[in-house]
């Protein structure tokens, strides 16, 4: 068999020269395109890059200030404010933006007290301005408090006798502002207080007892609401006159019986802390004419109580009352708009300014 071969034709010098020239032209074009593209990339230090960085930072700051609910700090260089809950813990979030005022330092953002992070670097200027509105209101001034006065006193009435506080018998008294016979509450009284309760007492014999003096709110029928103890004091029998001496006034002081409503009545009860009788006290079997008051008696040592409005202990209640103060004017200040100015970099052309409305218009303290 006869083999045949095809001879491959070589590239001529003209073709080689032409292709080299074309490649050189293409390389020059590509190099030019790369140079042009490199010039299109912003220089991080250029005014354009600084302006873009400032714009992004101002936009983020404005968006959070827009929904601020309250402010605890609002100065030219910083603002601390609360926004609505973002993490589901039902608590507001706290945000703080701040700049030191030193050119070149960053504007920072702190979230819920965490370490501050930069939101704009190489800052040459940052300032916040606040648009405020005010509202003048008339409010009551501080209330006027009276001197210590006797509210109600029962010292004379028919049927004066004595009775013993024991494990089976408790006594007490219901008193209401409607029955204040010594110092009635003024018509404009806003509250009153009980500072002291007095009742006539002496020893029963061995002088070993201790009497519990307890103040309760009154039920609608004048009996004590024993489920609530407003305050409690104690009376040691050893400090009272002997069983053959005339009874004297025993005093129990109270510290927390303040801010009482002029429309509410209260009860104080006398019960013993031991099985032995603790005190002998005086009372009036009546009839007693003292509206808004009534003697309390318990036959089971304080477990249950009955009231008799025609009888009464020989007692008195001292305290103070408050009336409205002189009206005063207060000026309330609200924040409705915030202006933001930020300059990143050294050229004034990079300065970004905007203002944002604060939707909640929170009240602030000047």
Q: Give 186-251 as a DSSP string.
A: PTT--EEEEEEEEEEEE--SS---EEEEEEEEBPTTS-B-TT---EEEEEEGGGSPPTTSPPEEEE
What's the CATH code of the domain at 173?
A: 2.60.120
Domain count, the chain: 2
Structural domain contains residue 70: yes
Structural domain contains residue 52: yes
2 pLDDT higher than 60: no
> How does pLDDT run across 225-253, given as a tens digit for each residue?
999 999 999 999 888 999 999 999 999 99
Does 301 lie in the same domain as 224? Answer: yes
What the block records as the tokens of 178 is 């409607």
> How does pLDDT run across 75-128, given as a tens digit for each residue?
999 999 999 999 999 999 999 999 999 999 999 999 999 999 999 999 999 999
Does 294 lie in the same domain as 342? Answer: no
Does 358 lie in the same domain as 318? Answer: no
213 pLDDT higher than 80: yes
Does 171 lie in the same domain as 101? Answer: no
Does 226 lie in the same domain as 123? Answer: no
Where in the sequence is the domain holding 162, given as residue range(s)?
144-323
348 pLDDT higher than 90: no
pLDDT more than 90, % of the chain = 73
* SS3 per-residue string spanning 84-110: CCCCCCCCCEEEEEECCCCCCCCEEEE
* pLDDT score, position 37: 57
Q: Give 274-332 as a DSSP string.
A: SSS--EEEEEE-S----TTEEEEEESSTTSS-EEETT-EESEEEEEEEEE----EEEEE
> How does pLDDT run across 170-190, given as a tens digit for each residue?
999 999 999 899 999 999 999
Q: What is the pTM of this model?
A: 0.60
349 pLDDT higher than 90: no
Mean of the per-residue pLDDT values for the chain? 90
Structural domain contains residue 254: yes
Structural domain contains residue 30: no
1 pLDDT higher than 50: no
What the block records as the tokens of 347 is 């050229």
57 pLDDT higher than 50: yes
Does 90 lie in the same domain as 51? Answer: yes
* pLDDT score, position 30: 74
Does 216 lie in the same domain as 88? Answer: no
For 34, residues 6+ apart whose C-beta sits below 8 A from its C-beta are none
Does 339 lie in the same domain as 232? Answer: no
Does 213 lie in the same domain as 67? Answer: no
* pLDDT score, position 26: 74
350 pLDDT higher than 70: yes
336 pLDDT higher than 50: yes
296 pLDDT higher than 60: yes
Structural domain contains residue 162: yes
* pLDDT score, position 5: 46
Banded model confidence at residue 261, pLDDT cuts 50, 70, 90: very high
What the block records as the tokens of 169 is 């018998």
Does 100 lie in the same domain as 191? Answer: no
Quote the CA–CA distance of 328 and 208 in Å, as a whole number.
56
Does 266 lie in the same domain as 120? Answer: no
Does 258 lie in the same domain as 189? Answer: yes
221 pLDDT higher than 50: yes
Structural domain contains residue 185: yes
Residue 183 burial by CB count (10 A; 0-12/13-18/19+): exposed, middle or buried?
A: buried
């Amino acid at each position: 068999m006869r083999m045949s071969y095809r001879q491959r034709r070589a590239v001529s010098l003209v073709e080689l020269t032409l292709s080299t020239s074309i490649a050189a032209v293409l390389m020059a074009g590509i190099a030019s395109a790369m140079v042009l593209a490199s010039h299109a990339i912003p220089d991080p230090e250029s005014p354009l890059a600084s302006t873009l960085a400032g714009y992004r930072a101002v936009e983020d700051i404005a968006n959070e200030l827009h929904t601020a609910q309250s402010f605890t700090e609002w100065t030219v260089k910083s603002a601390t404010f609360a926004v609505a809950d973002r993490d589901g813990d039902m608590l507001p979030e706290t945000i703080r933006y701040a700049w030191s005022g030193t050119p070149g330092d960053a504007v920072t953002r702190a979230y819920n007290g965490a370490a501050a992070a930069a939101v704009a670097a190489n800052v040459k200027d940052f300032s916040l301005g606040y648009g405020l509105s005010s509202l003048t209101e008339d409010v009551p001034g501080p209330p006027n408090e009276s001197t210590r006065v006797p509210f109600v006193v029962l010292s004379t009435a028919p049927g004066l006798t004595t009775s013993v506080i024991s494990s089976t018998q408790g006594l007490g008294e219901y008193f209401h502002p409607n029955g204040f016979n010594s110092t009635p509450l003024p018509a404009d009284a806003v509250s009153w207080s009980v500072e002291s309760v007095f009742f006539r007492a002496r020893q029963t014999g061995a002088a070993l007892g201790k009497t519990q003096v307890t103040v309760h709110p009154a039920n609608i029928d004048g009996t004590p609401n024993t489920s609530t103890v407003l305050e409690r004091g104690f009376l040691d029998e050893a400090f009272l006159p002997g069983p053959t001496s005339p009874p004297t006034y025993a005093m129990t002081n109270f510290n927390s019986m303040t801010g009482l409503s002029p429309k509410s009545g209260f009860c104080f009860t006398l019960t013993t802390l031991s099985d032995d009788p603790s005190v002998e006290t005086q009372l009036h079997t009546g009839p007693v004419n003292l509206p808004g008051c009534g003697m309390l008696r318990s036959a089971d040592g304080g477990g249950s109580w009955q009231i008799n409005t025609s009888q009464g202990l020989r007692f008195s209640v001292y305290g103070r009352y408050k009336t409205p103060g002189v009206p005063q004017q207060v000026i309330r200040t609200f924040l409705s708009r915030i202006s933001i100015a930020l300059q990143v970099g050294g050229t004034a052309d990079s300065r970004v300014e905007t203002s944002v409305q604060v939707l909640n218009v929170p009240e602030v303290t000047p």
